[in-house]
């Protein structure tokens, strides 16, 4: 954040001398508070967008005009940015300008208007995600089930979490301390989009997969409190990683979480294997040509695609649209009516069994054995 603040300071030198110091300080405070209110991933994206705006236009945020925004858009196009990237940059910029319209300096707004008034490219947020089909998911899961190593157990638990619970990538950062049993059912809480905390039902297949992964890493669901999904480095087992970097297993904290990039990399690792097998059966491509086809297909694999698959499976399982909205944790939909609907705080998940059947996991999830162990 230091480079961005420094850029803001440089650009505020163009302000009138009488207001320079006050506005500079107010803008720095506003910038920091704005970015601090975002999640880690959103904060990084917003910082990049705001920094690019300063670099491309040479203006400061307070005196920015629609001409600056137009210039910024043109520069992005010249660099080959996609419509989706341009739209994201403008959205971040607009959000910050709206924030500057709130009371800041002496209870007054730093700006009175939002200069991001140009027409933005039309982009479907879920265009790529819709291409993650059920057949591909089953093939990926099949590859994961063949891998009984620690990495395979971790991938299995992650994949089931995304498709059963509909969590976002960043919402896979769960603590063991935040998983519990209540009246025979499992629940978990996590930091959701917008820095809020959500509590959800944890379907039994997901709990069992997490338990298997935790145990293979030498941890205990009842004792350990740290991150569920762990980073490992240079082939170290998760337990060794914890011992080396934290000293004691129960002291593992948030810094042990998998990064969003690592989570996607795990999914793509097994997707690559599944796609290569699938495509080798149905195409004439071989060698380098097949590799390129697989690479192109992998670009369509995303965690958001798993969220979309989760939603479609819920719909097929009999969920209503409001239930799916609550399931995914959407704070906003296309219409005000859906946006204003009440979200149930904690719902008993009555549809995960139907989802399990559609995924063909009935025989692979030993529920009877699990229940006997509990008794």
Q: Is the dihedral of CA 357, 363, 369, 372 positive or negative?
A: positive
Tell me, yes or no, whether 104 and 167 share the same domain. no
What is the pLDDT, as a whole number, of residue 122? 63
What is the pLDDT, as a whole number, of residue 286? 57
Tell me, yes or no, whether 279 and 176 share the same domain. yes
CA-to-CA distance for 298 and 269, rounded, in angstroms? Answer: 9
Tell me, yes or no, whether 155 and 39 share the same domain. no
Q: Tokens standing for 342?
A: 């009440």
CA-to-CA distance for 78 and 83, rounded, in angstroms? Answer: 12
What is the pLDDT, as a whole number, of residue 282? 58
Per-residue pLDDT reduced to its tens digit, 19-51: 667 777 888 888 888 888 887 778 888 998 899
Alpha helices in 172-302 (DSSP H): 204-216, 238-246, 260-282, 287-298
Tell me, yes or no, whether 21 and 144 share the same domain. no
Cβ(15)–Cβ(49) below 8 Å: no
Per-residue pLDDT reduced to its tens digit, 113-131: 899 887 766 655 444 445 5
CA-to-CA distance for 265 and 314, rounded, in angstroms? Answer: 26
CA-to-CA distance for 21 and 9, rounded, in angstroms? Answer: 10
244: containing domain = 129-374
* Nearest by Cα to 69 from 59, 80, 79: 59
What is the pLDDT, as a whole number, of residue 336? 24
What is the pLDDT, as a whole number, of residue 237? 57
What is the pLDDT, as a whole number, of residue 361? 78
Cβ(274)–Cβ(136) below 8 Å: yes
* Domain-ending residue, one of 109, 138, 163: 109
Tell me, yes or no, whether 73 and 222 share the same domain. no
What is the pLDDT, as a whole number, of residue 245? 45
Domain tally for the chain?
Answer: 2
Residue 359 lies in a domain: yes
Tell me, yes or no, whether 199 and 347 share the same domain. yes
Residue 158 lies in a domain: yes
Contacts of 157 (CB under 8 A, 6+ apart): 206, 209, 210, 212, 213, 228, 229
Whichever domain contains 216, its CATH number is 1.10.443.10
Tell me, yes or no, whether 302 and 353 share the same domain. yes
Q: pLDDT exceeding 90 applies to what percent of the chain?
A: 21
Length reported for the chain: 375
What is the pLDDT, as a whole number, of residue 347? 55
Whichever domain contains 90, its CATH number is 1.10.150
Tell me, yes or no, whether 101 and 209 share the same domain. no
What is the pLDDT, as a whole number, of residue 160? 95
Tell me, yes or no, whether 30 and 83 share the same domain. yes
What is the pLDDT, as a whole number, of residue 342? 32
* Domain-ending residue, one of 109, 140, 170: 109
What is the pLDDT, as a whole number, of residue 206? 96
DSSP letter for each residue of 217-231: TT--TTT--SBSSB-
Tell me, yes or no, whether 10 and 76 share the same domain. yes
Residue 28 lies in a domain: yes
Residue 121 lies in a domain: no
Tell me, yes or no, whether 102 and 135 share the same domain. no
Residue 182 lies in a domain: yes
Residue 119 lies in a domain: no
Residue 114 lies in a domain: no
pLDDT < 70 regions, the chain: 1-20, 120-132, 195, 232-255, 281-290, 331-348, 350, 362-375
What is the pLDDT, as a whole number, of residue 248? 39
Tell me, yes or no, whether 134 and 101 share the same domain. no
Cβ(307)–Cβ(289) below 8 Å: no
Residue 25 lies in a domain: yes
* The model's pTM: 0.62
Q: How many CB atoms lie within 10 A of CB 138?
A: 14
Q: Tokens standing for 130?
A: 């819709």
Q: Tokens standing for 57?
A: 């236009």
**E strands, 70-110, where?**
103-105, 108-109
């Amino acid at each position: 954040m230091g480079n961005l603040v420094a850029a803001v300071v440089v650009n505020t030198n163009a302000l009138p001398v009488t207001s320079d110091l006050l506005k500079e300080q107010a803008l720095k405070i506003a910038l920091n508070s704005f970015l601090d209110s975002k999640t880690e991933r959103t904060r990084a994206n917003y910082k990049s967008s705001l920094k690019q705006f300063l670099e491309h236009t040479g203006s400061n945020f307070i005196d920015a005009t629609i001409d600056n925004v137009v210039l910024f858009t043109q520069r992005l196009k010249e660099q080959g940015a996609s419509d989706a990237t341009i739209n994201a940059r403008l959205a971040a910029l607009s959000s910050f300008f709206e924030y500057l319209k709130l009371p800041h300096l002496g209870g007054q707004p730093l700006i009175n208007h939002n200069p991001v008034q140009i027409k933005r490219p039309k982009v479907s947020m879920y265009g790529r995600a819709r291409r993650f089909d059920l057949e591909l998911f089953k093939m990926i899961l099949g590859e994961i089930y063949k891998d009984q190593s620690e990495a395979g157990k971790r991938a299995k638990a992650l994949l089931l979490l995304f498709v059963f619970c509909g969590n976002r990538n960043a919402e896979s950062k769960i603590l063991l301390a935040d998983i519990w049993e209540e009246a025979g059912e499992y629940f978990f809480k996590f930091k959701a989009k917008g820095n809020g905390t959500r509590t959800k039902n944890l379907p039994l297949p997901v709990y069992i997969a997490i338990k298997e992964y935790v145990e293979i890493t030498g941890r205990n669901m009842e004792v350990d409190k740290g991150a569920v999904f762990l980073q490992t480095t240079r082939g170290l087992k998760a337990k060794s990683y914890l011992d080396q970097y934290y000293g004691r297993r129960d002291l593992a904290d948030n810094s042990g979480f998998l990064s969003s990039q690592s989570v996607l990399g795990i999914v793509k690792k097994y997707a690559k294997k599944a796609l290569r097998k699938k495509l080798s059966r149905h195409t004439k491509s071989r060698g380098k040509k097949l590799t390129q086809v697989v690479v192109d297909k992998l670009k369509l694999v995303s965690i958001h695609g798993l969220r979309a698959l989760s939603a479609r499976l819920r719909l097929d399982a009999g969920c209503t649209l409001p239930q799916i909205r609550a399931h995914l944790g959407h704070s906003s939909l296309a219409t005000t009516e859906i946006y204003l609907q009440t979200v149930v705080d904690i719902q008993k998940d009555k549809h995960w069994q139907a989802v399990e059947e559609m995924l063909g996991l009935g025989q692979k999830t030993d529920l009877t054995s699990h229940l006997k162990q509990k008794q």
